[in-house]
Amino acid sequence: MAGAKETPRQKLISLMYLVFITMLALNVSKEVLDGFGQMYEKISDANSRVDESNDAIFENIQINAKEKGGKWVGHLRTAKQIKEESDEFYSRISEIMTQITEKQREKDPDLKEYAQMDKGEALDVIFFKEGSDGNAEEFIDMINEYKMHVIQVFGSQYPEYIEMVEARFFTGDENGNIQNRDGVDEKWLNANFQGFPLVSSLAKFAMMQNDIRQTEHDVFATLMGKELKMSSSVNESNYISLLKTEKGAYYQGETFDGSIVLGRKGGAQNPNSVDLKIDGRPLQENDYDLIAGGIKLKVSAGTPGDHEITGNLIFLNEGVESKIPVNQSYAVISKPNSAVISADKMNVVYRGVENPMTISIPGIPDNKVSASAPGLRKFRGSKYNMTPGKGREIKISASGTLPDGQRVSTTTTFRIKDIPAPQGTVRKQTGSITIPKTSLEISSVGAVLEDFDFDITLKTVSFKFKVPGQPTISINGDKLDSRAKSALRRAKAGQSVQIFDIKVVNPKNPSYKFKKISPVICQLVN
């Protein structure tokens, strides 16, 4: 009846109903979580593609700095600074992502069960629980420091990029606040990460990594593009002469049919006159034909050795004479009687990896050159891969037929060496390092091949962990397990723990056994 007092059972039912309604309100649908997961995958794939593109452009800048010097040296210095800062920032975000997914990986190693990633406690513990202010401030400082460094290094040269960089790495006003939908100030970090499902935070971190790589790409592409701009008129400042030949070298007695043309692609203006010499001898009118953008030579190649072509191509632009300097050279070689076999990276071949090799015979097309040896495989033109087996030496034989029908063959011996012993790493550091216990707990144990010419990715299979005064712990994988973490927490600051007996594999050749890996000594702080 009205006004009657509720029984304990009725109160319990009412409370359960309220809890049920609250759970429905807070529950994130499976479809939404899967959507975040798909977004995370696509962004991660995009990051990989941008990485490859950035590496290619950076390598191009390095090549130009080495070969051309000048402004390219400054471009390389700027690119290196941005790359180092970007790699460090990117890696720190990856560490956070690894830390917050540790528990999820125990039941979902590949992080594909997005519908199970509806909780955000792991990230909340790092950034928002009582006493974690330092972590939150460190993260915000890291974003702002990266932003300011990019602006200082690159924005000072290209101010048009400042606004874009500031927008990508915006963290709120001077107090770190933004206005929420109700017009109330709220911390930027809280508004973007506190209480959100794990999968949405992963997608946001991946997007931040994408912003880092896109910023890196903008810097590299701008540095490259700046030097590729060309003007349209024909003059000495924006054109150079180039020697175009049908082949790189000529046999003694052959007709040299090289062409001297303007360096700009698409130039169609014929020279009005020619003032050229080969080895100091002036060219006669019957020694060349005028062609679009230059001349085509019709002279004897000459004796074996280097030959110089000097002088000017003369163009008339609106009645004004422009002289394009010519200073080129070509080589004449004697007919070969042996093949040329060279290792692209070294004078030995290494067991356990594919050794790239170039095998060719000057004057013979690649498709008419044959080479053979145990473990030798041709994949394109003159390019081969050598995968040596047992033994300490390997003999490679090559043969081919010259245009005059003469058969040429040769055999070259290469030494076979084992891959050198890797060095153990923690946080990519080797030897004896200083590290906080909290950092060691989440750090990856790996190995590197320092000063080795091949790019080999080493995957850690297992390692041993020793804290002074405690039993040695054997661990599978590349991170400390719960037993090791427990032992680590009992260690005192100033003590040194050992990570040793590291076992790794090369995923591309898992059967190869590496030499003993050097340990890492970690002196604990804090």
CATH of domain 423-525: 2.60.40
Whole-prediction pTM value?
0.42
Domain parsing of the chain, residue ranges: 29-226, 241-333, 340-417, 423-525
Phi and psi at 423, nearest 5°, equal -110, 130
* Distance (Å) of CA 498 to CA 220, 376, 405, 471, 518: 41, 42, 67, 12, 11
Q: Residue 35: its pLDDT value, please?
A: 75
Task: Work out the mean pLDDT of the chain and round it to a whole number.
Answer: 81
| Per-residue pLDDT reduced to its tens digit, 207-236 | 899 999 999 999 998 888 755 443 334 555
Q: Which CATH architecture has domain 241-333?
A: Sandwich (2.60)
Residue type at 269? Answer: Q
Asked if residue 238 has pLDDT above 60, the reply is: no
**pLDDT (tens digit, 9 = 90+) per residue, 17-61?**
444 334 433 455 677 777 777 888 888 888 888 888 899 889 988
Listed in sequence order, the residues at least 6 apart from 23 whose beta carbon sits closer than 8 Å to its beta carbon are: none
pLDDT digits (tens, 9 = 90+) for 155-188: 877 888 888 888 889 888 888 888 877 778 888 8
Q: 423-525: same fold as 340-417? A: yes
Report the pLDDT value the prediction gives residue 248, as an integer from 0 to 100: 47
Which residues, in sequence order, are CB contacts of 255 under 8 Å at separation 6+?
A: 298, 299, 300, 301
> CB of 144 within 8 A of CB of 224?
no
Residue 416 to residue 391: CA distance in whole angstroms: 7
340-417, which class in CATH? mainly beta
Confidence band, pLDDT 50/70/90 cuts, at residue 403: low
CB 257 within 8 A of CB 297: yes
Q: Within 13 Å of residue 83, how many CA atoms lie on the same side as its CB?
A: 17
Residue type, 221: A
CA distance 386 to 345: 12
